[in-house]
Amino acid sequence: MGRFFRKLAKKIESHITDQQSAREAFEEKKPDAMKNDIRMISGCEDSQTSADVSNVNSFNLPDPAGRAGGACTSTLLKILYNDETVPEDDLSFTQVLTAMREDLEAKGYTQIPQLTSSNPIDMNTDFDLVPKTATGTRRAVMIGINYVGDNPGELAGCHNDVLNMKSYIMNVHGFEDENITVLMDDGEHPVPNKENMLAAYRKIIAESESGDAVFLHYSGHGTKLRDDDDGEEADGYDEALCPVDYSSAGMIRDDDLYDILVKPLAPGVHMVSLMDCCHSGTILDLPYIFKADGSSEEMVLDETLDLDGLIQQFGGAAMNFFGKFFK
């Protein structure tokens, strides 16, 4: 999160007195990498854990694997693809995320779905996984890790998440099987170890060009690690994904994901990521955020960024004011 905002800190010179002024200054000075259309849906805030649903039947989902599904993926599909049927009426971003929160709450979950983005989104516009402007190839990387045999970390729903979501993107959004990379620890697909995950991410970014659509789906464990770059994270921790070989190969930090997925993305590529894991709220380090907490009405700049820590590295008075804006 920090490296991007350190660059921004050097550039912003005008005072910021409200969210609108902050947005205008931000949009004027943000680097080219952040001008791409990148969005991420997550099932919970960085401080929350995502649930593992024991029975997708409570969500009335198609269940090709016959086992279980994750709370975030299952509730999103209940809204967008219930009984393999799309809603008759278009739903806005706010309606989709609010419906997710309400459904999760009704099931006893406290997690708050949220949407982060590289650009501000009018939350009242129609929800779209693939915009009409994305007329090129549609590619996906889908990763489901149940951590089979891991005690006590084994999950039950992550393979189902991938199979259900794959059915949705193919049947509704026209993704073709040959352009979908699936990693699962099921003995049938390539293993979702750290090496394979990073290779799949690098490959999809390298192959995509203007007009293409990229969909990334991760269902597995997420965690928080002590920040390896002092001052980058407001809470002192990096968010991270847990590959199946996490104990030997290590985690995939948010900094790694930013360097692999965000920075090198070609202009004109539309990318959406669905992160169904713990501590996933801002794992792609995108600056705009909407929380379906019942009180938010629009997407805003993320106020949890450790701007003060970044300010100290440069000593700029203007960025000191920018930091105070979020206090």
Q: What whole-number distance in Å separates Cα of residue 229 and Cα of residue 219?
A: 27
**How many angstroms separate the Cα of 107 from the Cα of each of 43, 69, 73, 98, 326?**
14, 14, 14, 14, 34
Determine the residue type at 224.
K
- Which of these is catalytic: 217, 221, 270, 279? 221
72 is catalytic: no
270 is catalytic: no
Mutual orientation of helices 317-325 and 307-314 as an angle, nearest 10°? 170
Assess contact for 192 and 243: CB atoms under 8 A: yes
- Which of these is catalytic: 44, 72, 242, 278? 278
For residue 87 the two structure tokens come to 């809603």
Find, among 287, 327, 309, the residue nearest to 23 by Cα: 287
Please give the angle made by the CA atoms of 1, 38 and 110, to the nearest 5 degrees. Answer: 70
Q: What whole-number distance in Å separates Cα of residue 220 and Cα of residue 273?
A: 14
Active-site positions? 221, 278
